[in-house]
Every structure is written in structure tokens, then in C-alpha cells.
């Protein structure tokens, strides 16, 4: 059974009929550019082959959704879809998309939706955005809504920010909706311009290994919001619209104008990270893939020391991967747990995995899980 089969089966079981169609939206990893999106800077994610599938059909009074992940079914009408937060739990991600579409003036058809997914939950691979993007893509098609591709991530971000109440940026939705197979998505988070950067590693004998630290997430929501606030406050003090506007060669001068040492570190991360994204893109464009390794590792050090969003498990996984010969490694995603990406020679995958396993065993950590990442397609109707 594929995930698509699961979604179709869940639909039949819940609603006793066939879905009109199946819509898929992937999870993502971010190659580099962390906590830069809400600073209007640059990111470079790619889509995973793991996807969330929405099997859907029009009809009913309002909207209902069920999930093969054994979560309680939800249903809601116009009133709940009009009141941010009215539907909570997993259904809030569905209701939030309906809200965002309606709030933007679209007529959203009543619909029944069944969800299945193989995007790991709570691992920083953007499972919630995959759900929202699958639902958005399904509802847009069912309603014949003409929504430009560059508008879609903004709608999902509004759903997340206003309905669900999480202050996230625009990277995850953009990755899920706009990535293409064998490419990383170079996104300018101010202009929303994208460039598809060729990212077919196999020809170069290289692999990105994803290592799930399996570290429990602690306080990630509050810490995320605190980082964002600190960045916005720094931009205000510096008199710029966003930290994106602090050039790399103006960093020292900017830091000298900030009194708070913590804020100085946050700013240093964001400004240097934007530059690392630009440098990574240049290297990838000229086919010098191995050379991005040190940029990935520098990004990790910056997240660990300046942005302070890593935990022991991810630091240990990064170091173990480097010890086993990775060209570079870094935590990916919002932080406080989640996954590490490591750039390795394909034939070293088992050495790297063993190195991580040994380092984890030595420290008594819950074992990590690892798999090879393939840059995959964005959201689509199946």
C-alpha cells in the first residue's frame, strides 16, 4: 500500500464513496539558510519524497477531514472557518487553510477530505506544512480557484500565522508547493522570487544523508518566537526594514550599534547565514558541490553558538558525521531537535550511520534514524 492508497482507503471508509482525486504535498529539508526567512533573506530547501496525501471530494455542508494517522476526524462549518483558532489540534491546519482562502476572497467549496502521510511527525521535516499544502492544493482544484503559484505559500503562511497561531516564516510552504525534482529551491523571502538550482547529487557520487536526531522537542514554539522577536527588535534598532538589509561587509558596524550581546549573536547568525546561502548557490551553479561542505558546517556552528537553537543530540550527530568523513553537516529546520543533513560520498553512508550510532550509544541517547534524501517534486495532483 502506498500513502496514496492509504488516503483513498481512509476516504472510502469514512465517507463511503470514492474521492474525486488525490493531491500530494511533500515535506522538506533545508539545505542551508536557517531562520533567515522571517528576516526577509534567503533559503535553499528541497522537497522530500515523503508526502502528505489529501484524498478529497466536494460536497457536504461545510468541511470534514479524517486521517489514517488515527487522529480524530474533524468537521467544521463557516463559523469555525471564520474564527481563527476555533478548530484546534490537527484539524486546525485544515480549517486554517479554508480560513485563509476565504479571507483572501476565494469561494471555497464544501469538501470531504481524508489524509494519509509518510512525512515523519515532529521531526522538523515540515509535516504540518505538508498537510496544509496538500489541503490547499486539493481545495484550489476542487473549487476551480485560480491562485498563482507565488500566492499559494502566502496563503498557507497566513493560515499558520493567524489561524493556527505559529509565527513561522515562508520557507516550508514555499518548499512544499514550489520545489521541483532534482533541484533545490533558491528563494528570496522578500520578493518571493525563486530559482531552481540543479541538485542532482548522484552524478557526482554524492548523497545527502538525513539523520533524525529523535531528540524530544522542548519549548520549540516559545524559543522560535523569541528568536524572531529578537531579530525584529535588532532590525528596528539598526533602522532597517529587516536583517536582510544588513550587508555582510557592514556586519561589524551593525554589531557595534547593539548593546545586548545576545542580540548581537542573533544578528551575526542571520547576516552570515544569508551570505552562506548565496555562496552555496554560487558553488552549486558552478558544479563545485563538495565545496559547499564547509558552508554547511559553518552554518551549524552559527546555529549552535550564535542562534543557540541546537541540542546535544544534533551537535553529536553533526560531529559524528564529520568524523566519518562527511564534507559538511548541519541541523536543518527550526531547531531544538529535529534532523541533521550531511553531505557525504554515497559509498560512505554506512560508515557515517555507524559513527552516529556509536556516538549516540556512548551517550545513552535514543538511537537516531538515517536515510538518503532525494530532491523531489513539490505539490501536485496525482
CA distance 115 to 47: 19
Distance between CA atoms of residues 25 and 311, nearest Å: 29
Identify which of residues 63 and 336 has a Cβ nearer to ligand GLA in the complex.
336
Question: Is residue 91 part of the contact set for ligand GLA (CB under 6 A)?
Answer: no
CB of 38 to ligand GLA, least distance (A): 6
Residue from 26, 96, 293, 333 touching ligand GLA (CB under 6 A): that is 333
Per CB under 6 A, does 15 bind ligand GLA? Answer: no
Let me know if 172 is a catalytic residue. Answer: yes
Q: Which is nearer to ligand GLA, 126 or 355 (CB)?
A: 126
Nearer to ligand GLA, 30 or 137 (CB): 30
Q: Where are the alpha helices (DSSP H) in the chain?
A: 3-15, 78-81, 91-103, 127-142, 152-158, 171-178, 220-238, 251-256, 261-285, 293-305, 312-323, 349-363
* Candidate residues 6, 34, 80, 306; the one interacting with ligand GLA per rule CB under 6 A: 34
Q: How far apart are CA 87 and CA 80, in angstroms?
A: 6
Is 38 a binding residue for ligand GLA by CB under 6 A? The answer is: yes
What is the total count of residues that contact ligand GLA (CB under 6 A)? 11
For residues 121 and 382, what is the distance between their CA atoms, to the nearest angstrom?
22
- Of these, 91, 120, 328, 334, which contacts ligand GLA (CB under 6 A)? 334
State the number of CA atoms in the 13 A half-sphere of 181 facing the CB.
4
Closest to ligand GLA by CB, 11 vs 38, is 38
Per CB under 6 A, 120 contacts ligand GLA:
no
Show the binding pattern over residues 135-174: x = contacts ligand GLA (CB under 6 A), - = does not: ---------------------------------xx-xx--
Instruction: State the DSSP code for 82.
Output: T
Residues 130 and 25: beta-carbon distance below 8 Å: yes
Which candidate, 83, 63, 82, 84, places its Cα nearest to that of 74?
A: 63
| Residues designated as active site | 172
Amino acid at each position: 500500500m502506498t500513502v496514496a492508497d492509504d488516503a483513498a482507503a481512509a476516504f472510502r471508509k469514512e465517507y463511503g464513496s470514492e474521492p474525486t482525486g488525490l493531491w500530494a504535498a511533500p515535506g522538506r529539508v533545508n539545505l542551508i539558510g536557517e531562520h533567515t526567512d522571517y528576516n526577509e533573506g534567503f533559503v535553499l530547501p528541497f522537497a522530500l519524497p515523503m508526502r502528505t496525501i489529501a484524498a478529497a471530494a466536494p460536497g457536504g455542508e461545510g468541511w470534514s477531514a479524517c486521517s489514517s494517522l488515527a487522529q480524530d476526524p474533524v468537521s467544521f462549518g463557516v463559523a469555525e472557518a471564520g474564527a481563527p483558532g476555533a478548530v484546534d489540534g490537527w484539524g486546525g491546519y485544515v480549517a486554517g487553510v479554508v480560513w485563509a482562502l476565504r479571507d483572501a476572497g476565494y469561494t471555497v467549496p464544501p469538501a470531504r477530505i481524508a489524509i494519509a502521510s509518510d512525512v515523519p511527525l515532529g521531526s522538523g521535516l515540515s509535516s504540518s506544512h505538508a498537510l496544509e499544502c496538500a489541503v490547499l492544493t486539493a481545495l484550489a482544484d476542487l473549487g476551480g480557484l485560480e491562485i498563482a503559484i507565488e500566492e499559494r505559500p502566502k496563503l498557507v503562511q497566513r493560515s499558520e500565522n493567524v489561524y493556527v497561531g505559529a509565527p513561522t516564516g515562508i520557507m516550508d510552504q514555499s518548499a512544499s508547493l514550489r520545489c521541483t525534482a532534482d533541484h533545490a529551491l533558491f528563494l528570496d523571502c522578500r520578493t518571493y522570487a525563486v530559482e531552481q538550482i540543479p541538485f542532482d547529487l548522484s552524478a557526482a557520487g554524492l548523497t545527502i544523508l538525513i539523520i533524525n536526531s529523535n531528540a524530544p522537542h522542548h519549548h520549540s514554539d516559545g524559543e522560535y518566537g523569541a528568536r524572531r522577536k529578537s531579530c525584529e527588535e535588532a532590525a528596528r534598532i539598526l533602522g532597517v526594514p529587516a536583517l536582510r538589509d544588513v550587508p555582510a561587509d557592514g556586519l561589524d558596524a551593525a554589531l557595534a550599534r547593539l548593546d545586548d550581546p545576545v542580540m548581537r549573536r542573533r544578528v551575526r547568525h542571520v547576516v552570515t547565514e544569508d551570505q552562506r546561502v548565496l555562496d552555496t548557490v554560487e558553488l552549486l551553479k558552478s558544479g563545485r558541490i563538495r565545496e559547499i561542505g564547509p558552508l554547511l558546517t559553518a552554518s551549524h556552528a552559527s546555529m549552535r553558538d550564535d542562534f543557540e537553537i541546537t541540542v546535544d543530540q544534533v551537535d553529536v550527530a553533526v560531529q559524528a558525521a564529520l568524523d566519518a568523513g562527511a564534507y559538511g553537516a548541519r541541523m536543518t529546520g527550526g531547531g531544538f531537535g529535529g534532523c541533521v543533513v550531511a553531505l557525504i560520498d554515497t559509498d560512505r553512508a554506512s560508515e557515517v550511520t555507524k559513527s552516529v550510532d556509536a556516538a549516540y550509544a556512548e551517550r545513552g541517547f535514543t538511537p537516531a534514524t538515517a536515510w538518503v534524501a532525494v530532491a523531489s517534486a513539490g505539490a501536485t495532483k496525482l
